[in-house]
Chains A and B, each alone.
Chain A
């Protein structure tokens, strides 16, 4: 039942985030299992994106501890690191609710920017690169190969040289995921990856996420409202409401949790049975 507690890749303990008087996340603790696909769900305004922003360093949490443990054994305390180090060293990558691609750059360039840090050290802070030394050229070729691998996975090889802003919405979503994967993450945080996708695109997305879990040493955390995605692919579901955790378990367990139903239908706990009778559950 609780296998994610045995070997967690990310542990969140007593996370609290206050904006002035507003408590967006209140004393939240959970574990993300290594190799799992974990879904973070909850009604609008439950604090899901705030949790993501705390994990990826875009917000500094008011209280709490966030620990990432790599499969190599290294561990990092995220609340002490600036955002770019979280991606570079702690290897937590993310995508955004409103897609943030480099629209004026080509699809391939987007994936090359994601490999900035390894390429930067190969170019010896640009000095080796200016003179076109072999070491840098080899590193760049490898980076292009890596990018091509992901282009192949998201089926965009043909459009590699088109500007990212030119892609259809669904392709942009998948490109953003590929870009995050190019950083070689241990944890991949996806903020509503299926938003705005049609059923076919959402099925493709599911396949991509299953592939990532199977073939790469990457654990996926996703915020999602599309229950078909959540129930189909996730191993572990965490439900938030008003910044607090109200349920934590397998998809089936969560689905039948009266608190969750209450939160989604907007009724008090004691009325749930009444409501359930009415809707015929």
Chain B
């Protein structure tokens, strides 16, 4: 009996892998198989059938192995989730081939080896986009076949989930360790001069991760659509800048003050606004965001208006400054002075701030207040019937989110050394909201992925110049079609009697504002 089952499974897996290989062949025929090369007298097409064959074989073998040993479904079929994996395996094959091609130039005797350039990243990202498109097309095509076939047993989906469970557990830890190691990796790889640009980018990404986490409390947990989040970022930045300008206070002194001030502004703005719901709430928060910016722009005597505020003090390490002097960081630690030290320090400061944000948010989610936020998103009327003061609960979400925005703003001010209202336009709010929505409302790790893709990707696409926005918009549309509730949309329960399994997005409400 079991022989029979395994034999039929082998047959079905074989067929399934065959389909995957066929799709790969169709896709790689043009993408990998042909390449235009500059030759004497114009362009010539270079054929690389060996590479195509390798890709197809890799996909076939990989899928066969996954079917037989990892997924172990009774009737393997290329269904949605596995199709995504198919897309990713194509991607992996493409990227591996590309890298091998670039570095070794050995596969099928192709172009000569050369060092990696910034341009290469662009290509890799484009390939990534292509893989996503391929996955969607394949899903659509195979979805048709799926409808005609028998419904999938719960076993297949469950075994995939079980297979991926350790990933969900270890991914945050792995990302955290990677984040800690980033400066050293970069310096080791590119030297202190070459890595500065990437470290700056990493700091920017981390700032947005922190902002995303802050906004996630308001939008993701409490379900209040806030389009004016940048106002609190501005309040934090200006609090620090003005406190240092008028009272000569340093960064570490101002950091908590900026957070408290932003939280206060959150409550002051929130109190009248939170009576509104849905679209109305969104419009009014947007207006408040603009009001803050316009006040900063026009109150020339106090804020410097469009001239901004410059000479904002840099953060110190327990009073040690990062300068060339005898009591600077480099001199005290017996290192040769380098401007990269301060960048690394800034990187760790924002990393620590972001991690604190994450820790507090995760903690709050498991406290009564966090559960009340989520309950509010699910059903406000039921909350009121259970004795929850909805106004205070909404205000606490607004204030907590605003506080983290304020912390991030004050970091922004100290990093730049100069701020002006220019930095706090509506587009910033939109980007932060896009990070939260793309990442998946309420998902902490989703925000990280979305921030890395949105901010990091945006910088990498710089070579595309004016088409950058186009590519970006396309990617966003694709992700929203593919995963309308964001990249990571399952909700993790805050408490479990025996176990804590994720709740799929279609049961979780998005909130009415």
Binding site for B on A (CB under 8 A): 56-58, 83-85, 87-88, 93-94, 96, 100-106, 108-109, 112-117, 119-120, 123, 125-126, 129-130, 132, 136, 144, 148, 151, 157, 160-161, 163, 165-166, 179-180, 183
Contact = CB atoms under 8 A, between A and B. Distances in A.
A156 to B, nearest CB: 10
A117 B387 contact: yes
Nearest to A148: B497
Given A104-B508, A163-B503, A112 B379 contact: no
A130 B503 CA distance: 25
Contact of A113 (B386, B493, B497, B508): B386
Interface in B122-155: none
Contact of A160 (B366, B372, B382, B498): B498
Contacts of B381: 58, 96, 100
Interface size band for B? 35 or more
A93 B368 contact: no
Contacts of A119: 367-368
Given A88-B387, A117-B387, A100 B382 contact: yes
A102 B387 CA distance: 15
B387 A103 contact: no
A161 B385 CA distance: 23
Given A87-B387, A113-B383, A113-B388, A105 B375 contact: yes
B334 interface: no
B507 A103 contact: yes
A278 B252 CA distance: 89
Contacts of B383: 84, 113
Nearest to B508: A104
Contacts of B499: 161
A189 B52 CA distance: 70
B493 A102 contact: no
Contacts of A84: 383-384, 387-390
B248 to A, nearest CB: 31
B392 to A, nearest CB: 9
A7 to B, nearest CB: 25
B169 interface: no
Interface string B360-375: 1001101111011011
The 3 closest A-B pairs by CB, nearest first: A104-B508, A88-B387, A87-B387
B423 interface: no
Interface string B483-513: 0000000010111111111010001110000
Nearest to B499: A161
B378 interface: yes
A129 B363 contact: yes
Contacts of A129: 363-364, 366-369
A103 B496 contact: no
A126 B389 CA distance: 15
18 contacts: A84-B383, A85-B387, A87-B386, A94-B385, A96-B385, A100-B381, A102-B382, A105-B374, A106-B493, A108-B496, A109-B494, A109-B495, A112-B495, A120-B369, A136-B367, A148-B497, A151-B497, A183-B387
B369 A87 contact: no
B493 A105 contact: yes
Contacts of B387: 84-85, 87-88, 116-117, 183
A81 to B, nearest CB: 11
A129 to B, nearest CB: 4
B223 to A, nearest CB: 10
A120 B382 CA distance: 18
Interface in B96-115: none
A84 B382 CA distance: 10
Contacts of B382: 96, 100-102
Given A84-B390, A116-B372, A144-B497, A104 B491 contact: yes
A129 B493 CA distance: 18
A117 B387 CA distance: 7
A130 B384 contact: no
A109 B497 contact: no
Contacts of A112: 368, 371, 494-495
A108 B386 contact: no
A259 to B, nearest CB: 33
B379 to A, nearest CB: 5
Contact of B507 (A58, A163, A180, A183): A163
Contacts of B372: 113, 116, 120
Contact of A126 (B369, B390, B496): B369
A93 B497 contact: no
Contacts of B388: 84, 113, 116-117
Interface string B387-406: 11110000010000000000
B498 A123 contact: no
Given A58-B384, A109-B495, 8 more contacts: A101-B382, A102-B379, A116-B371, A119-B367, A120-B368, A129-B368, A148-B497, A161-B493
Nearest to A87: B387
| Highest count of chain B CB atoms <10 Å: which of A96, A105, A125 | A105
B503 A104 contact: yes
Contacts of A96: 381-382, 385
A191 B381 CA distance: 14
A136 B366 CA distance: 12
Contacts of B498: 160-161
Nearest to B366: A129
A212 to B, nearest CB: 17
B256 to A, nearest CB: 15
B371 A130 contact: no
Nearest to A136: B367
Nearest to A90: B387
Contact of A108 (B360, B363, B495): B495
Contacts of A117: 387-388
Given A103-B509, A106-B496, A106-B503, A113 B375 contact: yes
A94 B387 CA distance: 11
Interface in B400-422: none
A114 B259 CA distance: 31
A100 B379 contact: yes
A123 B387 CA distance: 17
Nearest to B500: A161
